[in-house]
Amino acid sequence: MSFVLADLVVGGGEGDIAMPPLGLRISRCDGCERLEFPSIPTCPACGSETDLDTASTGVLGGFTSVLHAPPGVLVEIPYDIGVVLIRDKLCILGLLVTDSPLAIGDEVEVTPYRLGDGHLTFAFRASRQDVGP
């Protein structure tokens, strides 16, 4: 399963108040504050309606390298995948794309990623504030 453009909010980034930040379209329940990705209109826990929100960053909770291609994979091996914790409430499994080593607990941000078949999906990379000399 891949998440294509409908679930990826491609915005103007920092300083552009006319565009939302780049991130994943999630839903947030007004009743119990549960988060869901992909977004859904009704909370599965309490039945309340949800609001759309954008998740741009999270914390890396774990990761591994994929060394052998699973059937139908659209990413060239080897590649890394990680579990990212969003706002201490939601875990999202995603591709990791980064030039610098990542560690558990690092802040990561959503970035667009072009799959081998041309579709656009999301990946996580080290947050810009974590990258530096």
Distance of CA 24 to the CA centre of its chain: 6
Cβ proximity to Zn ion: between 16 and 49 the closer is 49
* DSSP state string for 114-127: E-TTS-EEEEEEE-
Cβ proximity to Zn ion: between 20 and 25 the closer is 25
For Zn ion (CB under 5 A), the number of binding residues is 8
Given candidates 4, 5, 40, 45, which one binds Zn ion under the rule CB under 5 A?
45
Of residues 19 through 38, those in contact with Zn ion by CB under 5 A are 29, 31-32, 34
Cβ proximity to Zn ion: between 25 and 34 the closer is 34
Residue type (1 letter), 79? Y
Asked whether position 43 contacts Zn ion by CB under 5 A, the answer is yes
Q: How far is the CB of 9 from Zn ion (least distance, A)?
A: 22
- Please give the structure tokens belonging to residue 42: 């009704």
Cβ proximity to Zn ion: between 46 and 131 the closer is 46
If residue 84 lies in a helix (H) or strand (E), which one and from where to where? strand 79-86
* DSSP state string for 9-72: E----TT-TTSPPSEEEEEEETTT--EESS--SB-TTT--BEEEEEE-EEEEEEEEEE-SPPTT
Q: How far is the CB of 59 from Zn ion (least distance, A)?
A: 23
Residues that bind Zn ion (CB under 5 A): 29, 31-32, 34, 43, 45-46, 48
